[in-house]
Amino acid sequence: MLASLAKALPHFRNTNSGQFFLMAGPCVIEGEDMALRIAERIKHITDKLQIPYIFKGSYRKANRSRLDSFTGIGDETALRILQKVGREIGVPTVTDIHESDEAARAAEYVDVLQIPAFLCRQTDLLVAAAKTGKVVNIKKGQFLNGEAMRWAMDKVNGAGNPNVILTDRGNSFGYSDLVVDFRNLPTMRQFGVPVVMDVTHSLQQPNQASGVTGGQPALIETIAKAAIAVGADGLFIETHPTPATALSDGANMLPLDQLEALLQRLTRVREAVRPAGDIDPHGLNA
């Protein structure tokens, strides 16, 4: 399943653990020291557990509820930090883009370009990301089912890029809540691409009266375990040393000091559901 991803991300080629992979980091790049400390800590944990790791950090937050919400420390500054994380920590990096003209610029600094859920139908954005040759992680819209994501994937493939990841992050439920339909993971996996569960964003409670998104972080382990059990290839988890002081999405992030124990438990779930004799189910060495 992950053979094409292994070819596109050299860091993954020597992994033979049979584990899921992890996309994790802060919601937004708040500063260089913070980003490097988080990445170094997660890399230490994932190396120990033999979990392939991609560092995640938004260089700019374009989708905010309020005008006065924090959006970033400056595009060039944040992108250079992402590049430094990749080089110094030795991991692939991912960031999200929102406009077609951001794709080529961001691609100079990161390994994976992420398409936000609200924008997964934007043809020009998908094609621009595809043309960079980078891996493209497309988040499933909160308004779509898994089957509909084949068309988003086809836009990237049709532009000449076979390196696609599809990520679920729940579906809109009422006006200020999300619900996860785990049928979407095996549905999208049938398309032959790696499928990820965005655990923390699936627990958001958007559009609160205060204009600040809420969340249910107590359910992070529940959603993550269920995703692994139904065959997710990877997990997406936003984490921060002190979520209460995070500048974006702190209400649904996992405290960094809880990550190792959670991943230890999740590796046991993965081992329990892995078919007998399936040494390298993701094809990471293909």
pLDDT digits (tens, 9 = 90+) for 89-122: 999 999 999 999 999 999 999 999 999 999 999 9
Residue 179 in domain: yes
The pTM of the full predicted model, rounded to 2 decimals, is 0.90
Q: Which domain holds residue 227?
A: 3-10+19-273
Question: What are the tens digits of pLDDT across the range 134-190?
Answer: 999 999 999 999 999 999 999 999 999 999 999 999 999 877 788 999 999 999 999
Assigned domain for 100 exists: yes
Per-residue model confidence (pLDDT) at position 187: 97
d(CA 168, CA 161): 21
The overall longest dimension of the chain from CA atoms, in Å, is 54
- CB neighbours (10 Å) of residue 277? 5
Asked if the structure places residue 24 within a domain, the reply is: yes
Question: CATH no. for residue 237?
Answer: 3.20.20.70
Four-CA torsion 187, 190, 194, 197, nearest 10 degrees: 10
| Residue that wins the pLDDT comparison between 9 and 215 | 9
Q: How confident is the model at residue 252 (pLDDT cuts 50, 70, 90)?
A: confident
Q: Which is higher by pLDDT, 4 or 74?
A: 74
Residue 28 is assigned to a structural domain of this protein: yes
Does residue 279 register a pLDDT over 60? no
Q: What is the pLDDT of residue 286?
A: 35
